[in-house]
Structure 1
Amino acid sequence: MVDVFLRWREPAVRLLSRAVPGDVLWFVETAEPVFGLTFDDGPHPQTTPGLLAVLRRHRAKATFFLVGERIKANPHVVEQIVAEGHEVANHLMRDERSVLVPDEQFERELAETSRLLAAYGPVRWFRPGSGFYKPRMLRAAAGQNLRAVLGTVVAANTGGPGDAAIAGGLATSVRKGSIVVLHEGTEKRRGVVATTDELLTALAGRGLTAVTVSELVAG
């Protein structure tokens, strides 16, 4: 059994995206054989370089939603992400549930993380910690020219036996225009490297290629 694994089928995501208020990107309607690949909670001195090696081998691209305090601790890793043609995005200052952060603090730390990322390139996207949000958070982000990105399928490696089933479970649900959310950033999640390798291999067999969120939206 996968320890943390949320899987939505595309019709359910479309319905949910209409029912939940706010300008949030869950998936993209496209005829192109591509999907958005994203990683939360980095950078990390071990997991991120491992992911970059896998992406390089598969000629895949991804968007890394980075945590501000980890950006400060690992600037050379952020440089490597960008140098290899991937995209960086805002995941606030700490790995925590953003919806519980007081509004003024949320707005301040969202801006602080964007300032840290601006040294590496443009910042278009943010993802609230744990994926939960309030309308006021979206308004604050829009005021900083950021759009929220969630996803179609979400999984987190935990270091437990369930990690081995993650890629297979995800691969059955990913479609053209899906946005996949995986998690790195800690030693416990080091299995995300193998999960990503297995997932990209399976999806390549179906003719699907991983791209950044911006590439997915650009079509």
Structure 2
Amino acid sequence: MTRRRLIIGLSVVLVLLGLATATGWIGWSQPRFAIDGLSELNPDVLFQAQTSEKVVALTIDDGPYRAITPHVLDLLRERGIHATFFVLGDNIAGNEDLLRRMQAEGHEIGNHLVEDQPSVLLPAEEFERQMLAVDPWVDAEASHRWLRPGSGWFTPGMVEQAAQYGYRICLASIFPHDDRVHEPTRLAHDVLGRVYPGAIIVLHDGQEERVRLPETLALVLDGLQARGYRVGTISELVAR
């Protein structure tokens, strides 16, 4: 191998390693420039709201879950805060009372399909089936109806298919990876360190290892209040 070929080969390897590192960093840290870029490239998908007001949306995925959701609802009621709950169809049976409580207390229910899996891998027919299975719990008269695909990936076809049933796909701009990290102080520090006007925050319910969600949420809400932020549903955020 000539010296020139060796240099070219090493350069290609370094570029590939750099891209892999950058992709992993962007996926983990969700820098603001990446969220801004995604918003511009995908105007039909909501990642954040454009506002200078100190307002954010709170979203909670993967519930309802009997061991966690009631405590989350208690906390939100005490604070006078509404949130958007993206519910899984697999978790609805036996927890219908929790969904009715969400509705009665002024929260917003969003569609998170049936199973906690990457929705982008679903055939169009299965995507539609799962969407319609959760649909009865989403307010048919609402001015905004939100759908969040599993794992945060989507295709143009999914965006169009959701729109046919009155849904707009909504992802988020602040995700503290509470699917892997479960220490409340660390999670709250992550959220509060990246918060900005118009951000959409996502936290996760739905599994036993997330049992400290109410503790995390309390720390996040305390920090947001101390920073002068108001917290509400996605629809409340975009209405400003």
TM-score by length of 1: 0.90
The answer to whether structure 1 residue 201 and structure 2 residue 222 are counterparts is yes
1:57-206 correspondence to structure 2 within 5 Å: 57-118=78-139, 122=142, 124-158=145-179, 162-206=183-227
SS of match in other structure, 2:161: helix
Distance in 2 (CA, whole Å) between partners of 1:212 and 1:129 is: 19
The answer to which structure, 1 or 2, has the higher relative contact order (CA under 8 A, 6+ apart) is 1
**Map of 1:210 onto structure 2:** 231
Q: Cα 1:139–1:210, aligned 2, differ >3 Å: closer, same or farther?
A: same
More helix by share: 2
| Residues 43 and 77, structure 1, Cα contact 8 Å, conserved in 2 | yes
SS of match in other structure, 1:39: strand
| Residues 111 and 134, structure 2, Cα contact 8 Å, conserved in 1 | yes
| Residues 139 and 145, structure 2, Cα contact 8 Å, conserved in 1 | no
Where in structure 1 do 4 or more consecutive aligned residues deviate above 6 Å? none
SS of match in other structure, 1:141: helix
The answer to whether structure 1 residue 16 and structure 2 residue 19 are counterparts is no
Amino acid at match of 1:7: S
Amino acid at match of 1:48: T
Q: Cα 1:180–1:161, aligned 2, differ >3 Å: closer, same or farther?
A: closer
Amino acid at match of 1:10: R
State which drifts further: 135-144 or 162-171: 162-171
Residues matched between the structures, number: 213
C-alpha offsets along residues 127-159 of structure 1, whole Å, 9 cap, x if unaligned? 000101111111100111100000111134358
| Residues 156 and 189, structure 1, Cα contact 8 Å, conserved in 2 | no
Q: Cα 1:161–1:149, aligned 2, differ >3 Å: closer, same or farther?
A: closer
Gaps of 5+ in 2: 1-26
The CA deviation at 1:44 is 0.8
Seq. identity, %: 37
| Residues 107 and 137, structure 1, Cα contact 8 Å, conserved in 2 | no
The CA deviation at 1:182 is 0.7
Q: Cα 1:38–1:173, aligned 2, differ >3 Å: closer, same or farther?
A: same
The CA deviation at 1:30 is 1.5
Q: Cα 1:50–1:161, aligned 2, differ >3 Å: closer, same or farther?
A: closer
TM-score by length of 2: 0.82
Q: Cα 1:69–1:30, aligned 2, differ >3 Å: closer, same or farther?
A: same
SS of match in other structure, 1:78: helix
**Rg larger for:** 2
The CA deviation at 1:10 is 3.0
| Residues 71 and 116, structure 1, Cα contact 8 Å, conserved in 2 | no
**Map of 2:49 onto structure 1:** 28
Distance in 2 (CA, whole Å) between partners of 1:169 and 1:212 is: 20
| Residues 59 and 86, structure 2, Cα contact 8 Å, conserved in 1 | yes
Q: Cα 1:218–1:161, aligned 2, differ >3 Å: closer, same or farther?
A: closer
SS of match in other structure, 2:162: helix
